[in-house]
Chain A
């Protein structure tokens, strides 16, 4: 569920009569309505409720949790420990840096570059490049996690083999630079989405625009800057919002680093998992969940606002 895409709200059409009666319509919607209520709507409200209790997974407060008011939130935002490693503030800042570096800079820029490049290169180069970029995106996350684990292995990994072959010293990057490992990893894992979105945006631009620029003697960079970029501005905004939300919620780096070493890759999703399922503090974990959902809500509202604006135009 981490890579659930959003779609633009469907357009409303005037209808003179309905094919399905209201009763049949309601019956048709019932199964989906039940499932979505129980697993999407109720969790939203339940997580808020649990976040005000001291519920735990085991022990006496597992069955009889007590109301603790804002206790969990005060603990999360305690200024004395907020920025310490392994605390909420640390993981929040880490996640912000992770989103900035791997989604907004890494995925978006690399996706844009790739989308632009494959417009002009020979078909076979395009196909091979696309295949590997999409494979990184489509393969299951545990497989990708293990592939990178093997790739970065200190003794035998392909990456150190490459470094040594060009005369550079090998490194145990999962231990020494874990944050940059997950940044590169997430960029690699997710660039396909941006590439495909921008690719389809570029190919919807009428070719005559570029032909006219060619006649005028424009360079590739000028065409990119003055024609390509302005015409796909809407797609760029959409892309940035979506990849920000997905990267903010991603749990996949856990498969590579387990949040370690010593909390250096503990993103908020991993922090939430540790607090709730390793330290068994459900109340505190729920409070983390509430904050994550509020941040998601802010992004989703921006996205839906933009989506709604786009509807009348199309």
Chain B
């Protein structure tokens, strides 16, 4: 195709503008690329000279920081297992059974899940956890996240299961499988990609979340990394920047890795919900 001069100039202007906006988005993050590898990192931007891994050694020598990463792992993994299992079962039932009123159930869940956000429901959630006597425990955080994430997880999975032909399970049942066998041996392997997406989405959500653990946890032994990082820079007076930078990088890695995994495996369309 022949490009006219104005179209050519326009194309360059578009590229320049896109690059400029991209650069503006990159600016607050550039610091993070250098500071973790700079032994004398400050809040200012500086290219490390020499590059060093000393900050990471500091992180792994700080038992509180390591414990917090481990806590994040426990809470995110526990939440994900609960969300994945409960959502798979429920979504399968919503798709494949004729339980009366399931359309209404879906609608009501959808409504409630968008009305009851963490920041609007912090008081009742605190009271429920307190009444259950599980304040300041991993299980409190796990259950709260599982409950909050489940409605959305169920919708994503139900959409996914609805798109799979019923004939798979039907033929298994014709061959003599029970409905439960048909679910575990036939349906489950087919819907696994959907479960993977839901699980990754739930993991990223819990791993990165601040408010719920901030409210429900008290002792430093149970704090996840999100709250630990925050306390490193909000309560320490002068933040230990070298530690923080390296720690933030380590803490971000799982999220970045999972993002890359999903975008490589499934094509990163809509991480949850809206498949436009």
A140 and B43 contact, CB distance less than 8 A: no
Q: Is B264 an interface residue (CB 8 A)?
A: no
Q: Mark B178-203, 1 if CB is under 8 A from A, else 0.
A: 01101100000000000000000000
A50 and B124 contact, CB distance less than 8 A: yes
- How many whole Å from B33's CB to the nearest CB in chain A? 11
Q: A39-B148, A44-B121, A255-B210 known; A139 and B111 CB under 8 Å?
A: no
Q: Is B61 an interface residue (CB 8 A)?
A: no
Q: Which of A76-84, A86-94, A121-129 contacts B (4 or more CB under 8 A)?
A: A121-129
Residues of B within 8 A of A159 (CB): 27
B25 and A1 contact, CB distance less than 8 A: no
Chain B residues bordering chain A, tally (CB within 8 A)? 118
Q: Is B51 an interface residue (CB 8 A)?
A: no
A10 and B143 contact, CB distance less than 8 A: no
Residues of B within 8 A of A22 (CB): 97-100
- How many whole Å from B135's CB to the nearest CB in chain A? 12
Residues of A within 8 A of B158 (CB): 10
Q: Is A205 an interface residue (CB 8 A)?
A: no
- How many whole Å from B93's CB to the nearest CB in chain A? 4
Residues of B within 8 A of A96 (CB): none
Q: Is B65 an interface residue (CB 8 A)?
A: no
B93 and A29 contact, CB distance less than 8 A: yes
Residues of B within 8 A of A249 (CB): 117-120
Q: Which of A98-106, A171-179, A269-277 contacts B (4 or more CB under 8 A)?
A: A269-277
Which of A1, A6, A10, A128 sits near B162, CB closer than 8 Å?
A10
Which of B90, B115, B156 sits near A28, CB closer than 8 Å?
B90
Q: Is B94 an interface residue (CB 8 A)?
A: yes
Give the CA-CA distance A148 to B144 in the complex, in Å.
29
A301 and B93 contact, CB distance less than 8 A: no
- How many whole Å from B224's CB to the nearest CB in chain A? 10
Q: Is A168 an interface residue (CB 8 A)?
A: no
Secondary structure at the B interface, as helix, strand, loop or mixed, is helix
Give the CA-CA distance A146 to B22 in the complex, in Å.
20
Which of A145, A276, A296 sits near B123, CB closer than 8 Å?
A276
Q: A22-B97, A129-B21, A133-B22 known; A273 and B119 CB under 8 Å?
A: yes
B15 and A122 contact, CB distance less than 8 A: yes
Q: A26-B99, A35-B82 known; A289 and B27 CB under 8 Å?
A: no
- How many whole Å from B152's CB to the nearest CB in chain A? 5
Q: Is B53 an interface residue (CB 8 A)?
A: no
Q: Is A73 an interface residue (CB 8 A)?
A: no
Give the CA-CA distance A47 to B154 in the complex, in Å.
25
Q: A24-B97, A273-B122, A293-B116 known; A304 and B149 CB under 8 Å?
A: no
- How many whole Å from A12's CB to the nearest CB in chain B? 6
Task: Scan residues 245-260 of chain B and give those whose CB is less than 8 A from a CB of chain A.
Answer: 248, 251-252, 255-256, 259
B127 and A142 contact, CB distance less than 8 A: no
Residues of B within 8 A of A113 (CB): 21
Residues of A within 8 A of B255 (CB): 138-140
Chain A residues bordering chain B, tally (CB within 8 A)? 117
Q: Mark A259-285, 1 if CB is under 8 A from B, else 0.
A: 000000000010011001100001001
Which of B93, B159, B182, B230 sits near A25, CB closer than 8 Å?
B93
Give the CA-CA distance A277 to B218 in the complex, in Å.
12
A6 and B274 contact, CB distance less than 8 A: yes
Task: Scan residues 119-163 of chain B and give those whose CB is less than 8 A from a CB of chain A.
Answer: 119-128, 143-152, 154-156, 158-159, 162
Which of A32, A136, A141, A145 sits near B25, CB closer than 8 Å?
A136
Residues of A within 8 A of B89 (CB): 28-29, 31-32
Q: Is B30 an interface residue (CB 8 A)?
A: yes
Residues of B within 8 A of A251 (CB): 118-119, 210-211
Complex: chain B residue closest to A35, CB-CB: B147
Q: Is A313 an interface residue (CB 8 A)?
A: no
Residues of A within 8 A of B117 (CB): 1-2, 4, 249, 292, 296
B124 and A42 contact, CB distance less than 8 A: yes
Q: Is A231 an interface residue (CB 8 A)?
A: no
- How many whole Å from B125's CB to the nearest CB in chain A? 6
Given contacts A148-B28, A249-B118, A300-B110, 12 further A-B contacts (CB under 8 A): A1-B211, A7-B155, A7-B156, A20-B183, A24-B179, A39-B125, A44-B124, A156-B42, A158-B45, A250-B119, A289-B124, A304-B110
Question: Can you report 29 residue pairs joining A to B where beta carbons are below 8 Å apart?
Answer: A4-B114, A5-B270, A10-B155, A15-B98, A21-B179, A22-B98, A25-B97, A28-B90, A31-B85, A39-B148, A44-B121, A50-B124, A117-B18, A120-B11, A121-B14, A133-B25, A136-B28, A143-B251, A145-B230, A147-B28, A147-B29, A158-B27, A196-B269, A242-B274, A250-B119, A255-B230, A272-B120, A296-B115, A297-B111
